[in-house]
Amino acid sequence: MRADERLMKALLQRDKEALEELYDRYHLLLWKIASEAESDHRICEQLVTQVFKQVWTKPHEFMGDKRLALLLIECCRAKLKERPRPKTVCRNLIEPRVCCG
């Protein structure tokens, strides 16, 4: 049994040490992915935390045919797409419909 499989089976049993080991193994990878798309470090931290929270609450979603790293990356990218985006500020004061519709 591979290490990732062992960790995921332990997570199904609510083993907190398995989550800590998983975090130690993958948090930098997820941080890099988040920080490539988001420059705000607080938001990156929140995204990575959300991924591991989902692993803890729904470990069965991270077990399957794909490697665990790929499932974590997919989850992180999905969280990036879901995050609220700041609204653009219209700087065309004379004709705001030109840039803002």
For 3, half-sphere exposure in the C-beta direction (CA atoms, 13 angstrom radius) is 7
Single pTM value for the model: 0.79
Q: Give 10-residue mean pLDDT values along the chain (101 residues).
A: 89 96 97 93 94 96 90 95 67 55 48
CA separation (Å) from 7 to 21, 65, 93?
Answer: 8, 16, 56
- Considering the four listed CATH numbers 1.10.10.10, 3.40.50.2000, 3.40.50.800, 1.10.1740.10, the one that applies to the domain covering 3-100 is 1.10.1740.10
Whole-number Å distance between alpha carbons of 27 and 5? 17
Lookup: tokens for 57: 């609450």
Crossing angle of helices 16-37 and 68-82, rounded to 10°:
50
Q: From CA 44, how far away is CA 33, in angstroms rounded? A: 9
Map out the domains of the chain as residue ranges. Answer: 3-100
